[in-house]
Amino acid sequence: MVATITKPITLEQFLQNPETEPASEYIDQQITQKTIPKGRHSRLQSKICQEINQVSETPKIAYAFPELRCTFDGRSIVPDIAVFLWQNIPFLENGEIPDNFDLTPDWIIEILSPDQNAHKVIGKILHSLRHGTKLGWFLDPSDRSILIFLPEQQPLLMANSDTLPVLDPVSLKLTVEDTFNWLKMS
Amino acid sequence: MVATITKPITLEQFLQNPETEPASEYIDQQITQKTIPKGRHSRLQSKICQEINQVSETPKIAYAFPELRCTFDGRSIVPDIAVFLWQNIPFLENGEIPDNFDLTPDWIIEILSPDQNAHKVIGKILHSLRHGTKLGWFLDPSDRSILIFLPEQQPLLMANSDTLPVLDPVSLKLTVEDTFNWLKMS
């Protein structure tokens, strides 16, 4: 066995590295690469984005971005879905979307992959909540349940016909069942 | 494929069934069997019990029970470790320990096994906290981190040299590192 000594790098150095596929994240001076998304993850990610954006884009309420790098408080994370209230999106002067989002998402949505570590994902969500995120969803497709995180509150484990809380004022009514039923496509 | 139709059974019926090995739990009218504990789980479970009991048994402050069935609020769960304050242990008239604990543990400790579902474990801890449990630890040996649950509060993800909160007035000073260092035995 060969021990590799890796020098801790700074956030600035990390951000100068080319993007990897899947994306890498910088948390507590450590770089970890996200897991390669599989079928269920991909389906839920795209469908949830679509549902949120369908009701939120035209009235300029909010927008859900898949795999968007968000850099804040010395960390650089790439949530599965980062939802921003419209007024918080850092549009460029020409109205276009910037490449860098140096702020906390208003709503963070993570979907557990089979090989992923739940504690690590929860750590990411809790850290975001401590820095301004108003709502976190953590979906486990295998358990058909969703952990709901709200600032300074005990999380809730929702299942079956429980109605999911959404970011105010996004007008979306969804139960846990509705969400996982999207996995059934044929 | 044969679909098996299982009639939901009541808590009373469940409790009349013989105990299984590993133990079965009754949650939301469903029976699930705990996973077979592996090396790391076994070591952490026994060592944590030992450390708590070493400081708490003689002064009659509290006692940590491994794999104790606790039945309350229509559920029957078997936490990896259930800690009770001494005055809450339902001793029999002759001073002996009863077989049935129809109450919530004061402190619940769960250790994630490789095949176990983290959402299910968190659901158990959150439910206990809503019914009187004052502290929950959820250890993930793979991540070397511990999620800390306190009533009506945001959980904390602790790692490295973070000092773990313990049940008041148990006098135990432990960091996350100390705890996972017990895995190193030789």
Q: What DSSP state is assigned to residue B83?
A: E
DSSP strand pairing (B135-140 vs B107-111): parallel
- What are the tens digits of pLDDT across the range B122-162? 999 999 999 999 999 999 999 999 999 999 999 999 999 99
Q: So what's the pLDDT on residue B1?
A: 42
Regarding pTM above 0.80, the answer is yes
Q: Are B102 and B73 in contact (CB under 8 A)?
A: no
> Does residue B145 belong to the interface with chain A, where contact is any CB pair within 8 Å?
yes
Average pLDDT, chain A: 93
> Does residue A94 belong to the interface with chain B, where contact is any CB pair within 8 Å?
no
Q: So what's the pLDDT on residue A115?
A: 83
The closest CB to that of B119, out of A130, A143, A152, belongs to A143
Q: Which range is least confidently modeled, A3-12, A163-172, B63-72?
A: A3-12
Q: Are A111 and A146 in contact (CB under 8 A)?
A: no
Three-class DSSP category at B48: helix
- The distance of Cα B64 from the centroid of its chain, to the nearest Å, equals 9
Three-class DSSP category at A131: coil
Q: So what's the pLDDT on residue A2?
A: 47
- Tell me if B147 and A119 make a contact (CB, 8 A cut-off): yes
In which band, very low, low, confident or very high, does the pLDDT at B6 lie, cut at 50, 70 and 90?
A: low
- Tell me if A126 and B151 make a contact (CB, 8 A cut-off): no
**Structural domains present in chain A:** 35-181 (3.90.1570.10)
> Does residue B149 belong to the interface with chain A, where contact is any CB pair within 8 Å?
yes
In the predicted structure, residue A5 carries a pLDDT above the cut 60: no
In which band, very low, low, confident or very high, does the pLDDT at A102 lie, cut at 50, 70 and 90?
A: very high
Give me the mean pLDDT over the A8-23 stretch: 90
- What are the tens digits of pLDDT across the range B37-71? 789 999 999 999 999 999 999 999 999 999 999 99
- Please calculate the CA angle A90-A91-A93 and round it to the nearest 5 degrees: 125
Would you tell me the crossing angle of helices A118-130 and B118-129 to the nearest 10 degrees? 50
Which residues in chain A (103-142) have CB-CB distances under 8 A to chain B?
A: 112, 117-120, 122-123, 126, 129-130, 138, 140, 142
Q: What DSSP state is assigned to residue A119?
A: H
Give me the mean pLDDT over the A163-177 stretch: 97
ipTM of the complex: 0.83
In which band, very low, low, confident or very high, does the pLDDT at B2 lie, cut at 50, 70 and 90?
A: very low
In which band, very low, low, confident or very high, does the pLDDT at A6 lie, cut at 50, 70 and 90?
A: low
Measured distance CA(B164)–CA(A144) in Å, rounded:
31
- What are the tens digits of pLDDT across the range A18-72? 999 889 999 988 899 988 878 999 999 999 999 999 999 999 999 999 999 999 9
Q: So what's the pLDDT on residue A1?
A: 42
Three-class DSSP category at B110: strand
Q: So what's the pLDDT on residue B35?
A: 84
> Does residue A154 belong to the interface with chain B, where contact is any CB pair within 8 Å?
yes
- Give rounded-to-5 percent helix, strand, coil for chain B: 25, 25, 50
Q: Are B61 and B170 in contact (CB under 8 A)?
A: yes
